[in-house]
Structure formats: structure tokens, C-alpha cells
Amino acid sequence: MTHAIAFAMRSAMIAAMLGAIAVMLLMTAFPAGAAALNPRVTVSGPFVTLGDLVNGAGDAAATPVFRSPDPGTVGEVDARIVADLASRNGVANVQSLGLDRVIVGRSSRIVSAGEIRTGIAARLAAEMPGMTADRLALHFDEPLRDIHVEEENAAPLTLAATDLHREARRFSTVVTIPGSRVLAAGKRISGTVTVLVPVVTMGRRIERGATIAASDLNVIMVPRNDIRAATFAEIADVAGKAAKRSLPEGAVLAENDLAEPLLVTRNRPVTIIYRRGALTLTARGKALSDAPKGTVIRVLNDYTRRIVEAEVIADGTVELLTAPTTVASLAAN
């Protein structure tokens, strides 16, 4: 056995002996069954008992010694006060374990800020004919925070009163939880309410004259008072229209931004159709102007070289409004 190995073994033995001695000292200092402070406790009820504060309080464990802190909060109790309370109730020689205070917390049921916001929005919507809660944006005078109530209280959130001034767009309400000491007097919450409306916007940039597809569009909610022109609420009302100008991504679409898509283009070929009873005649021609569906335009017949008037009925197709002067110039379909 080398000197290094022997030294390591002796060190390990010494450490083990010291550990055993430390355990023996602790056992001597704090004999089994001795009462000792709890460094940190959490209670759920309205009172803190001696048993919450002291391990080994025996028959005095259920004795209430002071009121619990508010739900969701934490307080401190001086260790000397705990020892004095224990002594008065027959628990002597409480070991402090080196503590100068005991931390006492109280568990709670959390009524979230989101739950409060949802409840207020639903109440306001019910007072506004034809309105739904998802169309209301609420802005609070003070930041909305979670409320901690007694853990055992399962009563629902209640809005005891709601005042709504539509002209000023202001509201005021009192939030309560039946049976809660924390909210016994209720909590008043006030702010402003804004009505939102759906509007169709561009999901990507579209150039002038391009036809807009449904996939190019989004629907967002915006304050009703921010709308300054006739806008669209449904994608179906916009899809298939043509852009009168270049429309950037995010643009809110108004009626004056859109036009019917061009189905014929100036100086481009078109099919001319003439119908008479069961007879359909067609010919080739050239449009003399740009036009959307339903527009009457002038068309040059390629065969007769005559200019006729026709209505645009489909992409690259027009229909004569009157019978052609030379029927033979049209080929039977």
C-alpha cells in the first residue's frame, strides 16, 4: 500500500467519524419528540395554529394562535413570540434551530386577470344590443391583476353592478366573489370600451390591375371609430376583384380600391358570339378597349373589318347586342 493510498483511507475514516459525532451531537441537542420551530409553513384556513408553527406541539397543535395572512400573501412571525405562545399553551423548551422568525404563507384560489376581463366583456356585450364580447376591446384605468381569494371558496366571479356610458365609451363595475372575506366589499374596476369591427386587409402586395384571390386576404378587428371609408367585412366580398392601384401588404381595403377584373384587353383577340334561337354563331375579333364583365364595348370583326358593339360576358368573350349585318361572315358554331 502506497503512502498516498494510506493517507486517503485515513482521511475517509476521519470524515466518517466526524459525521457520526455530528449526528450524535444533534441527537443530544434535539432529543426525539422535542418541539421545534417550523422554518416555513403554508396554511389554507383563516387561522394559524400552534401545530403549524411548531413541530411536536402535541395536544396544543390545534390551538389557533393568530389570524392567517390574506390569501396568496406571506408574513413573518418572530421566533420569540412563537416560543412564548407555545409556553403559554403547555409546550415548553421549543427548539429554535437557529431561526429568528417563521415564514407563514396562505394558499389561495386565483381569479385571473383574464377571467375578470372575460366576465366584464360578457356583461358589457349583454347591455349592447347585437354585440358580442369578442368585438369589445377593454382598456382599464389601472392595470388589471389577478385576485387571490380563499382557497376553499369555489363561488363564481360576480359583477354586482355595471355602469356603461356609451357616449363617453366608459364603464365601471364592481367585482365580487360571494362568501369571500377578501372581496367582501367588492373591487371596483373602471375603464373604456371600444367596439371592434372586422375589416379585410391585404395579406401580400398586389399590383395595379391584378385580380385578388381569397388567399391574398386577411380579416382583422379594428376600432370602429378608426374606419373612415366603406370597407369590407367578408373575404368573399373582395376575392375576384381587381386592384385599381398598387395595394401594399396590410392595407385596409375600401370600395374605391377595387374594380371588377378586366375580362378583355384593348387590341387583344376576343371571341364574338351571336345567338338567335337555337343558332349560335362565332367569329374572331379584336377589343378596342379594356373592359370588365357586363360592359358594352366596340369590337373589330376580323373577317368583315366592321366595328360592332358587344357586351363582355366572359374572359376574352363578347356577345353581339344586335344581329350582324352579314350573317355569312360568321361561322356557325
Distances (CA, A) of 102 to 37, 50, 53, 98, 273: 7, 12, 7, 11, 96
Place of cell 373604456: 192
In angstroms, rounded to a whole number, what is the distance separating the alpha carbons of residues 186 and 143?
A: 17
Q: Which of 64, 84, 106 is the last residue of a domain?
A: 106
When divided into structural domains, the chain yields a total of 4
Please tell me whether residues 220 and 250 are part of one structural domain.
yes
Same domain, 307 and 253: no
Residues ≥6 apart with Cβ < 8 Å to 99 = 37, 39, 79
pLDDT in tens, 38-63: 999 999 999 999 999 999 999 999 99
Mark whether 148 and 98 lie in a shared domain: no
- 282 and 313 fall within a common domain: yes
Query: What is the pLDDT, as a whole number, of residue 328?
Result: 44
Partner residues linked to 149 by β-bridges: 109
105 HSE (CA, 13 A, CB side): 10
pLDDT band at 326 (very low <50, low <70, confident <90, very high): low
Q: What is the mean pLDDT of residues 320-333?
A: 58
The answer on 290 and 253 residing in a single domain is no
Tell me, yes or no, whether 134 and 95 share the same domain. Answer: no
Other C-beta atoms lying within 10 Å of the C-beta of residue 263: 21
The enclosing domain of 296 has a CATH number of 2.30.30.760
Taking the complete model, does pTM exceed 0.85, yes or no? no
pLDDT score of 23: 36
Per-residue pLDDT reduced to its tens digit, 66-89: 999 999 999 999 999 999 999 999
Is residue 64 exposed (0-12), middle (13-18) or buried (19+ Cβ within 10 Å)? middle
Residue 161 has pLDDT above 50, yes or no: yes
> Are 105 and 69 within 8 A, CB to CB?
yes
Of 106, 124, 148, which closes a domain?
A: 106
Is the distance from CB of 126 to CB of 155 less than 8 angstroms? no
Domain ranges, residue 42 = 31-106
pLDDT given for residue 276 in this prediction: 86
